[in-house]
Structures are given as C-alpha cells and as structure tokens.
Amino acid sequence: MNAFPEITKIEYEGPETDNPLAFRWYNPHEMIEGKSMQDHLRFSVVYWHTFRANGSDPFGMPTLHRPWDDGTDSVENAKNRARVAFEFMEKLGAPYYAFHDRDVAPEGGSFSETNRNLDAVVDVLAEEQARTGIKLLWGTANLFSHPRFMHGAATSPNAEVFAYAAGQVKKAMEVTNRLGGENYVFWGGREGYMNLFNTDIKRELDHLGQFMNMAVDFAKQIGFEGTFLIEPKPKEPTKHQYDSDAAACINFLRAYGLMDHFKLNIETNHATLAGHTMMHELDYAGAQGCLGSIDANRGDLLLGWDTDQFPTNIYLTTEVMLTLLKYGGIAPGGVNFDAKVRRESIDPVDLFHAHIGGMDAFARGLRMAAAIRADGGLDEFLGQRYSNWDSGLGAEIESGKHTYETLFEVMSQQGDATANASGRQEFLENYINRFF
C-alpha cells in the first residue's frame, strides 16, 4: 500500500522542532516513573472515525472523499481500506487500534452473509497485525446503526432484536478473540429510552443484565480472557441511556452480579455530556476498582453533543494522566482516540495532524503528571488534610469501634468538634499551575 506517499514514519524530534509531522513530546521509549511512554499511554486509533467518517452531518453531505475508497460498499473495497488503515497506523507509530464489526466490513443481505463479509476482512486484519505488530485494543459490535435497532438492542421490546444482537455479539467476540483483542467494549448506543410512557424500565434493565451475563458465559466457553468494558454515555442518540455515567454503570454491574467481569471505558466527551469532568469520572471509577480504559477526545462547551474532537488541552490531559497514574496505569486498557477530524479538514494529512496532536497532548500530560507526583506536594497536602483519621477518634471510627450511641457520648463530653482547617483550594490551583 502507498496511500500516504508523501508521509514517512512520524518520529520524535523534541519540543524545538518546527516540523508539524513530528512528535515534540511523545518519545515512545523514554522512561517515566520506570515505564516507557509507549507502555504508559498505549495509544489506539479508532477505525470508525479515522477510516469511516465521511464528514456528513445532520445538515450536510459527505465532505471527506478518501482517494483509496472506490465509493462502493464491496468487500474488496473494505479489504483495501483495511490495508490503508494499517499503513496509517504504522507510519503514525500507534501500537493499538479498535473497531466495530460494521466499520470494517459491509452488512450483507442476511445474518450469515454479513458474518461471511466480516470473516473475509478479518483475514486481512489478522495478516496486517502480523505484518506490523499492531495489536487490537478492543473490538465491539455496532448495535445501533441498522434500523432493526431503532428501539435498542438488548433492551428492545422486540425479542427477536435481542436475539439478533446476541448472535451479533457472539460473532464479534469470536473475531475479537481471534485477533488477540485485549478488551471487549459495550457502548449502549440505543439502550435507553426516548419516552417513559412507552418504556418498561425494569424489564429493559433486566434484559440488559441478562445480555451481559450471556457475554460472560460465552467468554468462558471460547477462552476469551480480555476485559469487558462498559462505556458510559448519558444521551445521544437516545434522550437517556441506561449507562449514563460511571456511577450508574457501576450500580448496574453490582445489581446484575457483573462486578468481577467488567470495568469501564471512560470517554471525555461523554463525561462532559453527563455534567461531570473527565477527572471526576476517572476518579470515581478508579475508587470503585472499575477503571478499564479511556476514549480520549473532547467536546465543545458551546455545542451540546458528542463532537468527538481530538484532545489538545494539556490541562485536561494532565488531570487525566494524574488520575491514571494514581490508580496504577491504564493497562490492559489504553488511550483510545475516539475522535474525528472536522468535516472541513478534508485532506488525508489532517488525519496525521490530528493524531500527532492528541498523542503529544497526552505525552505532555504524562510528563506534567509525573513531575507533580515527583514533587509530592499534592500527596503531602492530602495526607495532612485527612490526618486526623490516622489516630485517635478517627482511627477508632474507621476500624468500626463506634456507634451512633458512643459518638453521641463523645460529643456530649466534648461539647463541639475541633475547628476546621482551610481547604486551600486556591493555593492548590496555583500550585498545579507552577508546573506548566
């Protein structure tokens, strides 16, 4: 393949370079906190945006006409595109990729024909993985684009749609397993509702729980050892999605006995749509032992939907990397660029600029986070802020020695709690800014 003839392998040239097709901060083999940047960040390219987005939006037609696409939905074209995808990822130096079944191969006239199409393209993916060493971060099934999923997939009121979705996930899990995928993702595209008058929430959630338990059973059957991930998102395309945020997902996992098998794939733009920060979602998931992987992108505060832009804000990436390092890193998940170029960015080279920018922003975030951790000021402050729980009354409460009655007695004796110390928010915000 030579789809990008004027582009050679993207190399690290350091912050001083003026080459826009070089990394200024991402130096894959440089060690940070005893681990290479490549192993910390585990960058992944998404097939759907990078190789399938055509620039159409609700108001306009496609703008992105790729020279390697012949404009047909043939299996041959899909195979050719797969080879182009690997040329791109190889030149970029991304170690991972992720895809939906329907991104890589066209839907056929029947369930079986669709599966044959998928197998034909997966043969090429397997060949290209072997040729380049690029690995599959995760696979997933598209259970939201086709009209049969208009009311949802596992939560459809139509039992045959549930059956179709289950069969489709079986196939997608087999393919993910064949390609050595390290995770498998469920994003509940239409698993939610548009109107509560026509929705039986209890029944739909029970079906969703049953669907996920079937996945766990099937993984055992085929020996799939990757992590299952649920990707929270509050809305779009439905008005309310059941997996609305990290807390809702974790409650669902607990309710249906899935906590040992699932973690979360947290996406920046989904966090903001839910009214949270990315740091909140990561910290909450991490605190519950559910931090699995991230979809790295960003939204636009002035637009109310999932704009899936590439992350370039180094304050954001620093917060993300601080939180990932706090919980021991993201592996076997990764930093997956669920992001697309704008519909006005019509040249193939724009795909390189976008990914290079995202990778550099995360590399810089990693460097900042490591510097903040090395300095130790934050940890020291936190330790101090909670220090009265380390001994005396606090330690007694934590170890379960007290009840409402004994604490009532303590306060009756003492008269009042000791005075509070300052939260020092402004001091800490200034402290973080010192590293930029």
Binding mask 86-115 for ligand XLS (x = CB under 6 A): --------------x---------------
Q: Which is nearer to Ni ion, 32 or 296 (CB)?
A: 296
Q: Which of 40, 49, 101, 103 is catalytic?
A: 103
CB 140 within 8 A of CB 184: yes
What residues numbered 127-146 form the site for ligand XLS, per CB under 6 A?
140
Binding mask 293-322 for Ni ion (x = CB under 5 A): --x----------x----------------
Instruction: Give the shortest CB-269-to-ligand XLS separation in angstroms.
Output: 7
Give the dihedral of Cα atoms 18, 19, 25, 30; nearest 10 deg: -120
103: annotated active-site residue: yes
Point out which residues pair with 267 in neighbouring strands: 295
- Mark the segment that binds Ni ion (CB under 5 A) among 17-25, 148-156, 331-339, 372-380: 331-339
Q: Which of 100, 270, 276, 355 is catalytic?
A: 100
CB 252 within 8 A of CB 243: yes
Closest by CA position to 286, among listed 325, 335, 231: 325
Instruction: Give the shortest CB-100-to-ligand XLS separation in angstroms.
Output: 6
100: annotated active-site residue: yes
CB 348 within 8 A of CB 392: no
Closest by CA position to 21, among listed 80, 88, 67: 88
Question: For residue 231, what are the contacts with CB-CB under 8 A and spacing of at least 6?
Answer: 185, 186, 187, 188, 243, 264, 265, 266, 267, 270, 295
What residues numbered 259-318 form the site for ligand XLS, per CB under 6 A?
267, 295, 306
DSSP string, 320-377: HHHHHHHTT--TTS-EEE-----TT--SHHHHHHHHHHHHHHHHHHHHHHHHHHHH-H
CA 36/CA 41 separation, integer angstroms: 9
Binding mask 219-238 for ligand XLS (x = CB under 6 A): ------------x-x-----
81 binds, options Ni ion, ligand XLS, none, Cβ within 5 to 8 A by partner type = none
- Which residue stretches of 223-347 are H helix? 246-255, 268-273, 278-287, 314-326
CA 164/CA 237 separation, integer angstroms: 20
Instruction: Give the shortest CB-305-to-Ni ion separation in angstroms.
Output: 10
- Mark the segment that binds Ni ion (CB under 5 A) among 58-66, 104-112, 264-272, 393-401: 264-272
Q: Which is nearer to ligand XLS, 23 or 186 (CB)?
A: 186
Q: Which is nearer to ligand XLS, 32 or 185 (CB)?
A: 185
Closest by CA position to 46, among listed 85, 74, 84: 85
Q: Which is nearer to ligand XLS, 12 or 362 (CB)?
A: 362
What residues numbered 149-208 form the site for ligand XLS, per CB under 6 A?
185, 187
Q: Which is nearer to ligand XLS, 245 or 306 (CB)?
A: 306
Identify the residue whose tokens are 């098998």.
261
Binding mask 319-338 for ligand XLS (x = CB under 6 A): -------------------x
What residues numbered 346-405 form the site for ligand XLS, per CB under 6 A?
none
- Interaction between residue 243 and Ni ion (CB under 5 A): no
Dihedral (CA of 398, 400, 403, 409) sign: negative
264 binds, options ligand XLS, Ni ion, none, Cβ within 5 to 8 A by partner type = none
82 binds, options ligand XLS, Ni ion, none, Cβ within 5 to 8 A by partner type = none
Q: Which is nearer to Ni ion, 215 or 271 (CB)?
A: 271
Instruction: Give the shortest CB-98-to-ligand XLS separation in angstroms.
Output: 8
Q: Which is nearer to Ni ion, 54 or 414 (CB)?
A: 54
Closest by CA position to 183, among listed 172, 196, 199, 197: 172
Coil vs helix vs strand at 61: coil
CA 140/CA 228 separation, integer angstroms: 10
Residue showing the smallest CB distance to ligand XLS in the complex: 187
362 binds, options Ni ion, ligand XLS, none, Cβ within 5 to 8 A by partner type = none
CA 369/CA 360 separation, integer angstroms: 14
Residues that bind ligand XLS (CB under 6 A): 100, 140, 185, 187, 231, 233, 267, 295, 306, 338
Residues that bind Ni ion (CB under 5 A): 267, 295, 306, 338
Residues with active-site annotation: 100, 103
